Every structure is written in structure tokens, then in C-alpha cells.
């Protein structure tokens, strides 16, 4: 299992949890972003900088990930694409996105996009809190434990 992070919008606290998990497990962790990000100096943690542009990082994650890999993202279209390849998806809030729940999420995302383009103010998600971080860490531990069996 490789871990891929849609790193442009991934909160720093979540990256720190991922760095510790990669160091503990030895799994390959790759942060993908269109700008350079600092990563710890460990052989199994790397930063992959891609060109700038709409969905360039997402497209690279889709291209590189394989079935059984883990992708960390809040991007619903990206999640749908990697789920179709057999990858696991976890949001920064610790929510598992699966083949069973991705379709309604895509529909809601498309609906909200339509509403925003018509001028509705949506406000965005609330800030990440300690419960979100704990939920993420717990779900990550469960996924990694299953993968390492």
C-alpha cells in the first residue's frame, strides 16, 4: 500500500499525523502538490511537485495510484476516480469515502457547485477541530492495521 496525499489543501495537522504513521509503518507516503512542501527527511516520505493548473495534482494522483492504495483528499471528484481504481479514500476529517457513499457525495457537490455559480454564498466547511483530527488518526490506524496484516 502506498499513501497519496492531495497536499495542496491538506491541513498541516493531518500531514503531521501522516508523517508519524509513515515513519511507524515504513509505508511509502507521497504528498502531491503544485508547490514545494517541506517533508521529513525519511526515505519513505517524499514530495512530488507537479505543474500548476486546474486538477494537475489530482490527475497525477489518479495516474499513479493503484488498487489497495490509500488517498487522502477532500476532493470528491478525485475520490470518485481513485475509488473506481480500487483505492481507499480518507478525508482529513476521518470520513471514509467508498463506492457505496461516493455517488451521493458527487451529486451533492454538483448541486452545491450549481448553487454557488448562481450566486448563493455557501460559507465552506468549518475549521478542522480536535475531534476531526482524532477521528482521522483513528480511521487511518484502522486502515493501516488492515493493510499491514
In contact, 88 and 61? CB cutoff 8 Å:
no
Quick one: pLDDT at residue 106? 77
Range of the structural domain that residue 76 is part of: 2-147
Q: How many domains does the chain have?
A: 1
Runs of H (alpha helix) within the chain = 12-25, 56-64, 76-84, 102-117, 130-147
Band of the pLDDT at 130, cuts 50, 70, 90? Answer: very high
On the question of pLDDT at 120 being above 80, the answer is: no
Q: What's the pLDDT tens digit per position in 28-74?
A: 999 999 999 999 999 999 999 999 988 999 999 999 999 999 999 99
Report residue 112's pLDDT band, with 50, 70 and 90 as the boundaries. Answer: low
CA angle 74, 100, 21 (to 5 degrees): 45
Residue 125: CATH number of its domain: 3.40.50
pTM of the prediction? 0.88
Q: Are the beta carbons of 80 and 99 closer than 8 angstroms?
A: no
Based on the number of CB atoms within 10 Å of its own CB, is 61 exposed (0-12), middle (13-18) or buried (19 or more)?
buried
> What are the φ and ψ backbone dihedral angles of 52, each rounded to 5 degrees?
-80, 160
- Across the chain, what does the average pLDDT equal? 91
Amino acid at each position: 500500500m502506498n499513501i497519496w496525499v492531495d497536499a495542496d489543501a491538506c491541513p498541516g495537522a493531518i500531514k503531521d499525523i501522516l508523517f508519524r504513521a509513515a515513519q511507524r509503518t515504513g509505508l511509502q507516503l507521497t504528498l502531491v502538490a503544485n508547490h514545494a512542501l517541506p517533508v521529513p527527511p525519511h526515505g519513505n516520505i517524499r514530495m512530488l511537485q507537479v505543474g500548476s493548473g486546474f486538477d494537475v495534482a489530482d490527475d497525477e494522483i489518479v495516474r499513479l495510484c493503484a488498487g489497495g492504495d490509500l488517498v487522502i483528499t477532500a476532493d470528491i471528484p478525485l475520490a470518485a476516480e481513485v475509488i473506481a481504481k480500487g483505492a481507499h479514500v480518507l478525508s482529513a476529517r476521518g470520513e471514509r469515502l467508498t463506492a457505496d457513499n461516493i455517488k451521493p457525495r458527487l451529486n451533492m457537490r454538483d448541486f452545491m457547485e450549481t448553487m454557488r455559480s448562481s450566486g448563493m454564498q455557501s460559507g465552506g466547511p468549518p475549521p478542522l477541530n480536535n475531534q476531526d483530527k482524532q477521528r482521522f488518526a483513528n480511521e487511518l490506524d484502522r486502515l493501516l492495521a488492515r493493510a499491514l496484516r
